[in-house]
């Protein structure tokens, strides 16, 4: 995982996800939801009080998340309580935090819905974010050797791209900042919005494999990429350093990721050919990259659709805490994928992402990247029907 500004990682033991999810399913029980649902007021009470409609995840996934953060939330003394004086259980705290993150509603509205004051919602949500940083990082990691074999197999089977390891893309988390803030200008992006950048590497299952966030919207993709640990490891030969694949006619391909024309063409990062009147081979290569790139666009669009706290324009957010909230949203999205949450298959999704942002072309091209792209283009052209 790349740098997340404001976050400091501490060591923790490994967790067996399948075993933990199975164990967690037996905790909490239906009694908690029966009691909690009776507390729901406001606009939420007008809807069917189904667990899935309130939290947009299954009960199995909810119980697993509770199991991850239980020790941290129980280990810290607190006096968090509902308006009637009843103290919040671990399930109560997770429910409040998940509703805040998934709905994007104000602290006041979430508090009204669940019968507590807004300061309690704020504190509970932040404690949950801190606990997830500590306990869920194993859900956002670079693939193991076997996982990478599966990833490369999917990229080749679906899009015909041999030895491809992922797709890189970026999005803007928009903010409303005070004009009095002397540092606000640096957060103004090329569309004249205040925003924070999230750059991510995505696998074919729309899982986040590496992220960089916290940088101001005025920065384009190249300097954000260069700031990442992923970039530095690739430049040192410590990442995307797996076996080279031999292709027909003496061609070969090292491991690489793909990106759109906003990114530089590097030995390990392939981007589309630019210009008009491209050859059939180059046009075909661009089509393959574009089709595979949709995976990252959908992943980022779904992230924002699922965790609406980062979808709209955030009102004067804490710029030191926001990167950590973004990280936790990515962790939660991966957990939903890892547990194959059935609710996600039932939700309507938008495939559009930041449609108001125009592409900024990057003309940086490394010679080794040019060579690899040409070889892959030649290989793909040989597979075209006559």
Look at residue 354 and tell me whether its pLDDT is greater than 70. no
Span 156-185, pLDDT tens digits = 999 999 999 999 999 999 888 876 677 788
Q: What is the dihedral of CA 249, 250, 253, 254, to 10 degrees?
A: 170
Let me know: does 55 contact 102? Beta carbons within 8 Å. Answer: yes
Confidence of residue 384 (pLDDT cuts 50, 70, 90): low
pLDDT confidence of residue 264: 97
Span 307-350, pLDDT tens digits = 999 987 777 778 889 999 999 999 999 999 999 998 877 766 65
CA-CA distances (angstroms) from residue 381 to 113, 152, 205, 274?
58, 20, 27, 18
Span 222-275, pLDDT tens digits = 999 999 999 999 999 999 999 999 998 889 999 999 999 999 999 999 999 999
Span 45-88, pLDDT tens digits = 766 668 998 999 999 999 999 999 999 999 776 789 999 999 99
DSSP 8-state code for residue 309 = G
Span 93-112, pLDDT tens digits = 999 999 999 999 999 999 99
The string of DSSP codes covering 100-115 is HHHH---HHHHHHHHT
- End-to-end, the C-alpha distance of the chain in Å comes to 43
Let me know: does 151 contact 165? Beta carbons within 8 Å. Answer: yes
Span 203-215, pLDDT tens digits = 999 999 999 999 9
Cβ-based neighbours of 144, under 8 Å, separated by 6 or more: none
Beta strands in 203-262 (DSSP E): 208-216, 245-246, 252-253, 256-258
Let me know: does 132 contact 328? Beta carbons within 8 Å. Answer: yes
């Amino acid at each position: 995982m790349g740098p997340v500004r404001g976050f400091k990682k501490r060591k923790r033991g490994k967790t067996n996800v399948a075993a933990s999810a199975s164990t967690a399913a037996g905790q909490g029980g239906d009694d908690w939801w029966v009691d909690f649902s009776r507390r729901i007021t406001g606009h939420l009470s007008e809807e069917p009080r189904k667990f899935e409609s309130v939290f947009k995840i299954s009960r199995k996934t909810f119980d697993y998340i509770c199991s991850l953060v239980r020790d941290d939330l129980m280990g810290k003394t607190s006096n968090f309580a509902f308006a009637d004086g009843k103290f919040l259980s671990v399930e109560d705290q997770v429910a409040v935090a998940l509703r805040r993150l998934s709905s994007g509603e104000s602290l006041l509205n979430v508090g009204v819905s669940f019968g507590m004051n807004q300061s309690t919602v704020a504190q509970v949500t932040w404690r949950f974010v801190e606990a997830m940083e500590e306990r869920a990082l194993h859900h956002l990691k670079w693939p193991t050797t076997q996982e990478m074999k599966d990833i490369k197999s999917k990229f080749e089977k679906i899009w015909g791209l041999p030895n491809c390891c992922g797709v890189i893309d970026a999005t803007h988390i928009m903010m409303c900042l005070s004009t009095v803030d002397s540092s606000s200008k640096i957060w103004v992006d090329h569309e004249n919005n205040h925003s924070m950048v999230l750059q991510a590497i995505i696998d074919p299952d729309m899982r986040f494999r590496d992220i960089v966030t916290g940088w101001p919207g005025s920065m384009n993709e190249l300097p954000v990429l260069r700031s990442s640990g992923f970039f530095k490891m690739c430049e040192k030969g410590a990442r995307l350093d797996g076996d080279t694949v031999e292709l027909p006619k003496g061609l070969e391909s090292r491991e690489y990721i793909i990106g759109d024309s906003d990114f530089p063409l590097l030995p390990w990062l392939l981007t589309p050919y630019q210009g008009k009147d491209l050859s059939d081979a180059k046009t075909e290569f661009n089509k393959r990259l574009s089709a595979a790139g949709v995976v990252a666009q959908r992943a980022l669009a779904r992230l924002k659709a699922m965790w609406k706290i980062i979808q709209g324009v955030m009102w004067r957010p804490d710029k030191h805490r926001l990167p950590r909230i973004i990280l936790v949203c990515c962790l939660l999205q991966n957990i939903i994928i890892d547990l194959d949450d059935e609710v996600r298959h039932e939700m309507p999704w938008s495939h559009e992402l930041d449609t108001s942002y125009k592409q900024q072309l990057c003309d940086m091209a490394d010679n080794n990247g040019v060579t690899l792209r040409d070889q892959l283009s030649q290989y793909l052209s040989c597979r075209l029907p006559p």
